[in-house]
Amino acid sequence: MTKKKAAKRRFGAMRQYPSGRWTASYVDPTGLRRRSPETFATKTDAEVWLSQVEADLTRGDWTDPDAGAVNFEEYALRWVDERKLAATTDELYRRLLRLHILPTFRQWDLDEITPPRVRAWRAERLASTGADSTVAKAYRLLKAVLQTAADDELIRRNPCRIKGAGKESADERPVATVEQVDALADAMGPRWRLMVYFASYASLRPEEQAELRRTDVVLPEEPDQPKRRESEGKVEHEPVLLRISRAAPELTTGRRVTGDTKSQAGRRTVVLSGFLYVDVRRHLDWFASKEPDGLLFVGERGAPFRRSTFGRKWRKARDKVGLPPNFRFYDLRHTGNTLVTQSGGTLKDVMVRAGQSTEKAALIYQHSPMGRQKEVAQGLDARVRAARKVTADSNGDGGTGPDSGASGARVVRHG
């Protein structure tokens, strides 16, 4: 049985097969005839499909149906290669791809990744890993790769459309007290105690400390007779300066990658508090590498410290002090920066000291624990009481004080 003649229409053509189903075709901008990827049950369905194609052509939204026939794994790995990322970011992206994204999507072409498949993948990852933060990172990476594919006109639209799926809602990090910081420094031992203080009170990241050198420490000139504070009877030193210009993060392979700081804001000079002078001086004399430009923190054999070895010491010290298991060495930054804000430091002060390039990042350190809330409440109480007393005195209320009446204000009777 022969096929029926194609029905003539203004755009495209339709044809009915002997089975009764319909197919449609059109000529694309390059002059190539394109056929519908599937047949239709009715002529109306075929007409609707042609109308959608025509509308896409009119709006300039038409894409080559074969453009998306690119394997996702090949495209994603090339995407990472082309970004020239920092070593730690490159490692993170490849790990997310290997563990969380490619096991599901490596078999598909770009145009086969649909919103339902993305939703199903995310739900499976959340259920199987329980790591909401990791899944959010993986989703952001998948969305970024597919957005580039959309920009490259390989797919019509990014299929990652789950609202809020890329946001992380991590718990507020714990803040160690000054007493706990001192106990941690003691527990870490003489060689590593300064690292604890630099993390806590100089806001240094681990990778920044790993690349600190003798030449980065600017000590004040020693006077013949150090000044003494008459009120405290303590030796007063000029501040020590730390110049942060490089970082050496350690990858999971154990390889250190020396390079720039996390951001341009990471290149900074940190003014150390006076109480750290003795610890800095002793560390330089006893533990730092002896070369003029030697590393500040090295192991007992003079080699750069390893994350694994330092991590074991850190966990033992943390457990000895009684801090929770989720308290990281990195969290020590929260202590110093929180104290800076509570001592009157502005948001900009914290940004400069911590090497943060955005206010959002610096706001992490705007902690206000219960103890601080009580101080705020007491301060508010004192201010309100003082203001009411001034009002009462100026109005000649005599015994009406800040604690009398509903608010300590004058009571006016009418009628």
Helix and strand numbers, DSSP H then E, in the chain: 15, 9
Output the CA–CA distances (angstroms, integers) from residue 250 to 207, 258, 294, 335, 375, in the order listed: 7, 9, 18, 24, 41
Those residues with Cβ within 8 angstroms of residue 192's Cβ, 6 or more apart along the chain or in another chain: 297, 310, 313
Closest CA to 243 of 206, 282, 277, 204: 204
Q: What is residue 264's DSSP assignment?
A: G
pLDDT of residue 198: 94
The pLDDT tens digits for 72-119 are 999 999 999 999 888 889 999 999 999 999 999 999 999 899 999 999
pLDDT of residue 102: 97
195 token code pair: 């690292």
Element (H, E) at 228: strand 227-228
Q: When comparing pLDDT for 171 and 403, which is higher?
A: 171
Q: Which long-range contacts (CB under 8 A, 24 or more apart) does 336-343 make?
A: 336/199, 336/200, 336/201, 336/202, 336/203, 337/203, 337/362, 337/365, 338/175, 338/365, 338/366, 338/367, 339/178, 339/201, 340/365, 341/365, 341/366, 341/367, 342/372
Q: When comparing pLDDT for 146 and 1, which is higher?
A: 146
Q: Read off the amino acid at residue 357.
A: S
pTM comes to 0.65
**Per-domain residue ranges of the chain:** 7-59, 72-151, 178-365, 372-415
Q: When comparing pLDDT for 227 and 143, which is higher?
A: 143
Query: Which residue intervals of 224-368 are DSSP H helices?
Result: 277-286, 307-321, 332-342, 347-354, 359-362
Position 340 confidence tier, pLDDT thresholds 50, 70, 90: confident
Closest CA to 294 of 282, 285, 306: 285
Mean pLDDT of the chain: 82
pLDDT of residue 67: 65
The pLDDT tens digits for 19-36 are 999 999 888 887 888 888
Contact 155, 68 (CB under 8 A): yes
Does residue 413 carry a pLDDT above 70?
A: no
Position 265 confidence tier, pLDDT thresholds 50, 70, 90: confident
Q: When comparing pLDDT for 360 and 254, which is higher?
A: 254
Q: Read off the amino acid at residue 104.
A: T
Does residue 232 carry a pLDDT above 90?
A: no
Give φ, ψ of 332 to 5 degrees.
-60, -25
Domain 178-365 has CATH 1.10.443.10: yes
The pLDDT tens digits for 32-64 are 888 888 899 999 999 998 998 888 888 877 777
pLDDT of residue 168: 83
For residues 206-213, average pLDDT:
92
Does residue 156 carry a pLDDT above 60?
A: yes
Q: When comparing pLDDT for 29 and 122, which is higher?
A: 122
Position 312 confidence tier, pLDDT thresholds 50, 70, 90: very high
Q: What is residue 259's DSSP assignment?
A: B
For residues 283-297, average pLDDT:
94
- How far apart, in whole angstroms, are the C-alpha atoms of residue 143 and residue 121? 13
Residue with tokens 């003798």: 214
Output the CA–CA distances (angstroms, integers) from residue 8 to 5, 12, 40, in the order listed: 9, 8, 17
Position 8 confidence tier, pLDDT thresholds 50, 70, 90: low
For residues 406-413, average pLDDT:
42
Contact 289, 207 (CB under 8 A): no
pLDDT of residue 77: 96
Which is it for strands 227-228 and 235-236: parallel, antiparallel or unpaired?
antiparallel
